[in-house]
Structure 1
Amino acid sequence: MSEVVDEKSMAGGAQSDPIHAEKALSEIDHAADLDRNAKASQYKADAIEAENNEHNMGVFEAMKAYPMASFWAFVMSSCIIMESYDVFLIGNFVALPAFINEFGIVNPADGTMVIATKWQSALQVSGQLGALIGVFVAGPLTSRIGYRWATITGLMLLNAFIFVFYFASTLPVIFAAQILEGLPWGIFIANAPAYCSEIVPMRLRAPATQMLQMFWAIGSIIVGAVTYVYNDNPDASAYRIPIALQWMFPTPLAILIFCGPESPWWLVRKGRLEQAAHAVGRLGRRSRLNCQETVAMMRRVVDLEKSEKEPGFTELFKGTDAYRTAIVCGVYLAQNLTGNLIANQAVYFFRQAGVGTNLAFALGLITSALQMIFVMLSWILTTHFGRRSIYLWGSAFNTLLLVVLGIAASVGKSNASSLAQAALGLIISVMFTLGPAPASWVIIGETSAIRLRPLTTGIGRASYYIVEIPCIFLASYMLNPTSGNLGGKCGYVWGGTGLLCLITAYFYLPEMKNRSYREIDILFNRKVSARKWPETVVDINDDE
């Protein structure tokens, strides 16, 4: 009873003494502030520790610490096989005798059968038209449901759309089928570089994102092998079987991706910190990692970029994000303007250079195999020499080779000239995958702000398709014997555009090798000149 009285008297005393009550509340607020400050201090200390650990890791140490991150990057990158397979498949179909006999017209110049220029161009841009729509869908979709579910959705849609392509019996239906297949391609190509760059530590960002170019080459190898085997078939099986083989990929990949982890960066952006820590644990060896510290490092970058608004496309063109978007778009554009179209139309290019059908398909297969080997060599070059250096030197060498190709085609028609053009076409296609192509994927994966990454990679790939579509029409016009009939002289055109891309990259492309995402954010916010990035120091304590 006395206790009750004491409590009441204390309560009454508190009520009757507002000064003491206010003091008590002030002490509670102060204690809460101290607790918050202590947590914030510990969180920043953990973030700094995790970032320092990544800086101190070598490549092999990073592979040992994050073995499963490399595996899941491998799985996500393999989705690119499907776009590559279909792009090269259509490119080979326009040189495939059975396809030409079924869908071609008579060339009035020599009486041979050819695919009409308008349809040759239309078929090769149809998939890109679909993908252009797909990349605009990919950004908002991935921002909402995550990389895994967005990619699985695309894979299941692709399974359905392959049916339309397989049973198509006219060129307009094939055109429509390719547009449908392009929709999920847009999701794959927008998500893959972003996901791969987010799940691996700093030292593995180059090889993880460059695997995309390797799988692009693998897709072309499979197409080259299949079309080479069926090249002599006189009936529809020569192109029906290669179409049906597309079903090899989507379902197994969907199962694997379902079993994989979501990007921990995406989970941190959504505030799901425990799930992010679990995802980090699945990507690396728990015995070698402190998952909470790694998540703290991610939180630090996400807080640095924090905004009241949901990520939107308009943000990509404001402030420093506009510069970052321009870099991603510029690198994507350059892929179409520095020799990539010769690589994508290698077999048809060889045929128009005067090489026989069987040799053209064999050279196409050799080109694809060499591309895969050279992509793997680029892992070493880009990791040790940097993205900017490899991109600039590779682009310069490719531009020179394109001009030499034009010269070889200008000396007159002869067997030696045809072989020289074929050889140069092969070298250009292969060297493109040693320098500018694989370095592009690393730059694309690293440049954008974390919160805007799905949208930036999507808009960047959209710019790729927007430029690629007219370039495909131009390339088809230049190579088709019923139109421009330029053959190797197209090297002059692509050499000129390649030089323009090289000059632009020299002034505006920064070197992001060995930079954490926090450092990249800060350097962009400080508006440091692209050529001064390597010499600029960012303190580990800086938050800007």
Structure 2
Amino acid sequence: MDPDMEAKHNPTQEKAIFTETENAAFAEKAAAAEYKAGAIEAENVEHNMTVMEAVKAYPMASFWAFVMSFTIIMESYDVFLMGNFVALPRFKEEYGIINSHDPTGPKVIATKWQSSLQVSGQLGALIGVFLAGPLTSRIGYRYATLVGLMFLNVFIFVFYFGKSMPVFFVAQLLEGLPWGIFIANAPAYCSEIVPIKLRAPATQMLQMFWAIGSIIVGAVTYRYNSVDNDSAFRIPIALQWMFPTPLAILIWFAPESPWWLVRKGRFEEAAHSVERLGRRSKMNSSESVAMMRRVVDLEKTDKAPSLLELFKGTDLRRTLIVAGVYAAQNLTGNLIANQAVYFFQQAGIGDNTAFALGLITSALQMIFVMLSWILTSYFGRRSIYLWGSAANTILLVALGIAASVGATNAASLAQASLGLIVSVLFTLGPAPASWVIIGETSAIRLRPLTTGMGRATYYIVEIPCIFLASYMLNPTGGNLGGKCGYVWGGTGLFCLVVAYFFLPEMRGRSYREIDIMFKRKIPARKWKRTEIDVQDDE
């Protein structure tokens, strides 16, 4: 026989090759089984934790979520600052016009500038959130946030040295760019670095810092309310520099989201990040990374994440939920909270009392946000959102009724009381629950893009609503005062009905379970009763 032919058909060699292939396949199957077993174990551990056990196991995750949430204080500070400036006597005297309804009274900020100043930052943020998605997907949450903080330091100079309404408008527009990055990244980062049982309090800290920003503004403007020179508004502007640099130093040392690292295939770095977030004695970083890889593999595709994907297949439903929850924040009483001091003035309350009530409102909001941690952790997101929205809708209609009974002292007090209650109750139900829903709903792969698109929807709805709110309250506009409660009560009712039919309950669900339930197209009202097997991969 030809030696070449003999070598080609050597049975021993063929058997060796077959055995080698078989062993490689067996090893691959064994590795896959081990990887899945680790993923299942990590998911079960998170499911079985109590809230306090999760805090003890992941203390640094809670700390870094706290740090990242702090970035929201800067947008909050400035939004409430502009809302208070239109009520600040010295600012009105410097940049206001004569009130046509009361020529002998104090000046008022023209309706067009009142709306423009409040909307300029949101326009900038609208651009910023579209920058945030691609930027974060490429360089990560840490570096994207650091870029925003450094630019914010620069843009504050424009605001501080501005001496005209157009310059203030441009300054706010520029400051809005980094806000957009912060507001898109913070809920996503917070929801990714903590275990299941801490997702609610970690993301709800965003609302707490929103309230803290308003408290600082309320205290500062209350202090400078009676100052009769430029310091009345220059010092509150300068205080913005308190935040960016210290935060940038902290975030430089923060761990990157392990989910983002897994999406990039950097598994060793992801394991190291997990170890920095939790106690090594209470966790297994390799199993945690395996759990993340399992979810990422479910969503895996050869294409790079793109905005178009947000509007296709099951991701469209997820995008609509995030966008809807964001948009509803402007339609269920939030704008009354953002203009609380000005609202109290238009309800007939004196300047000093109005600023004091604004400060009290902000302090109560922070307390109620902390109460919401308990409610959403133990009673669910959907339940708290729906009941809170229903209560707010009723109170908004009651506010309209109180403003319709006549211009009496009792009616003014009733309007002020209801305005305060609406502003505070908003931070107990719909507002903090929204942040949890936003963080949980989006697919891991598309999370930076989804949160960015959702926040963009928020600004797209908020901008015309700001003009409407300013027109309704301004004496040179609609001069409706508390009757605006009828308008917001109507929009709040619409949001409540939509949420009842389309908002699912995601409390206690892992990201794998959430992915599977969206893929199975389970109706929102059936999520709470649906069980997903721990072995399922879809």
Give, in whole Å, the separation in 2 of the partners of 1:18 and 1:282.
56
Residue 394 of structure 1 pairs with residue 382 of structure 2:
no
What does 1:529-544 align with in structure 2 at a 5 Å threshold?
Answer: 529-544=523-538
Corresponding residue to 2:93 among 83, 86, 101: 101
Residue 183 of structure 1 pairs with residue 177 of structure 2:
yes
Corresponding residue to 1:299 among 268, 293, 297: 293
Instruction: Return the offset for 1:29.
Output: 1.4
Does the CA-based 8 Å contact 1:347-1:363 persist in structure 2?
yes
> Paired residue for 1:433?
427
What does 1:139-154 align with in structure 2 at a 5 Å threshold?
Answer: 139-154=133-148
> Where does the alignment leave 5 or more consecutive residues of structure 1 unmatched?
1-10
> Paired residue for 1:211?
205
SS at structure 2 position matched to 1:537: coil
> Paired residue for 1:66?
58
Residue 55 of structure 1 pairs with residue 47 of structure 2:
yes
SS at structure 2 position matched to 1:523: helix
Opposite residue 504 of structure 1, the aligned amino acid is V
> Paired residue for 1:227?
221
> Paired residue for 2:36?
44
> Paired residue for 2:112?
118
Does the CA-based 8 Å contact 1:14-1:21 persist in structure 2?
no
Does the CA-based 8 Å contact 1:302-1:451 persist in structure 2?
yes
SS at structure 2 position matched to 1:232: coil
Opposite residue 34 of structure 2, the aligned amino acid is Q
Give, in whole Å, the separation in 1 of the partners of 2:31 and 2:304.
27
Give, in whole Å, the separation in 1 of the partners of 2:483 and 2:379.
33
Instruction: Return the offset for 1:23.
Output: 3.4
Give, in whole Å, the separation in 2 of the partners of 1:477 and 1:26.
80
SS at structure 2 position matched to 1:337: coil
SS at structure 2 position matched to 1:515: coil
SS at structure 2 position matched to 1:106: coil
SS at structure 2 position matched to 1:533: helix
SS at structure 2 position matched to 1:369: helix
Instruction: Return the offset for 1:452.
Output: 0.4
> Paired residue for 2:438?
444
Give, in whole Å, the separation in 2 of the partners of 1:471 and 1:125.
9
Corresponding residue to 1:88 among 75, 80, 85: 80
Give, in whole Å, the separation in 2 of the partners of 1:306 and 1:372.
40
> Paired residue for 1:3?
none
> Paired residue for 1:33?
25
Residue 317 of structure 1 pairs with residue 311 of structure 2:
yes
Q: TM-score, normalised by structure 1?
A: 0.97
Give, in whole Å, the separation in 1 of the partners of 2:308 and 2:265.
23
Opposite residue 475 of structure 2, the aligned amino acid is P
SS at structure 2 position matched to 1:300: helix
> Paired residue for 1:483?
477
Give, in whole Å, the separation in 2 of the partners of 1:447 and 1:102.
46
Give, in whole Å, the separation in 2 of the partners of 1:191 and 1:101.
39
1:513-540 CA deviation, whole Å, 9 max, x = no partner? 0100000000000000100011111000
SS at structure 2 position matched to 1:114: coil
Give, in whole Å, the separation in 2 of the partners of 1:109 and 1:315.
52
Corresponding residue to 2:486 among 486, 492, 497: 492
1:471-512 CA deviation, whole Å, 9 max, x = no partner? 000000000001100000000000000000000000000000
> Paired residue for 1:501?
495
SS at structure 1 position matched to 2:304: coil
Instruction: Return the offset for 1:208.
Output: 0.2
Instruction: Return the offset for 1:425.
Output: 0.3
SS at structure 2 position matched to 1:95: coil
Instruction: Return the offset for 1:16.
Output: 4.7
Instruction: Return the offset for 1:14.
Output: 7.4
> Paired residue for 2:128?
134
Instruction: Return the offset for 1:22.
Output: 3.7
Give, in whole Å, the separation in 2 of the partners of 1:150 and 1:415.
51
Opposite residue 235 of structure 1, the aligned amino acid is N
Instruction: Return the offset for 1:27.
Output: 1.9
> Paired residue for 1:7?
none
Opposite residue 130 of structure 1, the aligned amino acid is G
Opposite residue 427 of structure 1, the aligned amino acid is I
Give, in whole Å, the separation in 2 of the partners of 1:531 and 1:371.
30
Instruction: Return the offset for 1:20.
Output: 4.3
Give, in whole Å, the separation in 2 of the partners of 1:362 and 1:226.
11
Opposite residue 257 of structure 2, the aligned amino acid is S
> Where does the alignment leave 5 or more consecutive residues of structure 2 unmatched?
none
Tell me how many residue pairs correspond in the alignment: 534
Give, in whole Å, the separation in 1 of the partners of 2:528 and 2:381.
12
Give, in whole Å, the separation in 2 of the partners of 1:537 and 1:108.
64
Give, in whole Å, the separation in 1 of the partners of 2:100 and 2:527.
58
What does 1:145-544 align with in structure 2 at a 5 Å threshold?
Answer: 145-544=139-538
Give, in whole Å, the separation in 2 of the partners of 1:202 and 1:364.
35
Opposite residue 342 of structure 2, the aligned amino acid is Y
Give, in whole Å, the separation in 2 of the partners of 1:201 and 1:244.
38
Instruction: Return the offset for 1:28.
Output: 1.6
Opposite residue 506 of structure 1, the aligned amino acid is Y
Give, in whole Å, the separation in 1 of the partners of 2:229 and 2:11.
97
Give, in whole Å, the separation in 2 of the partners of 1:326 and 1:356.
43
Give, in whole Å, the separation in 1 of the partners of 2:247 and 2:72.
11
Give, in whole Å, the separation in 1 of the partners of 2:145 and 2:243.
13
Q: TM-score, normalised by structure 2?
A: 0.98
Give, in whole Å, the separation in 2 of the partners of 1:98 and 1:19.
97
SS at structure 2 position matched to 1:233: coil
Does the CA-based 8 Å contact 1:126-1:179 persist in structure 2?
yes
Opposite residue 39 of structure 1, the aligned amino acid is A
Instruction: Return the offset for 1:17.
Output: 3.4
Give, in whole Å, the separation in 2 of the partners of 1:226 and 1:12.
92
